[in-house]
Amino acid sequence: MVGTLDEGKIIEYFRNKSVLITGATGFLGKIMVEKILRVQPDVKRIYLPVRAADAAAARRRVETEVVGKELFGMLRERHGAGFDAFVADKVVGLAGDLMREGF
């Protein structure tokens, strides 16, 4: 059937790809990040622009407002003690503000 979504193709699409997700601290953004990490752990990187003063602040914000949420419980169970290393390898917080000129 033409126009149908093939979940396998969508999942495979993210293998070894880098993805930029805006709005990751919001409800849908968190879901998107978690879903990609859960169904395609071979994603290369997920870049998350967040409002922050510098790279360290962006990393902390991603840790507390995105991957630190209960939503990531299944991934925490799957990766156990390696969860933090897995996330550090896959998820990159970018300091900035999309609303500012010259972001």
pTM of structure: 0.85
pLDDT at 1 (0 to 100): 47
Burial class (CB in 10 A: 0-12, 13-18, 19+), 80: exposed
Residue 2: which pLDDT band, with cuts at 50, 70 and 90?
Answer: low
CA distance 45 to 98: 20
Q: What pLDDT score does 66 carry?
A: 96
Structural domain spans, the chain: 16-27+36-95
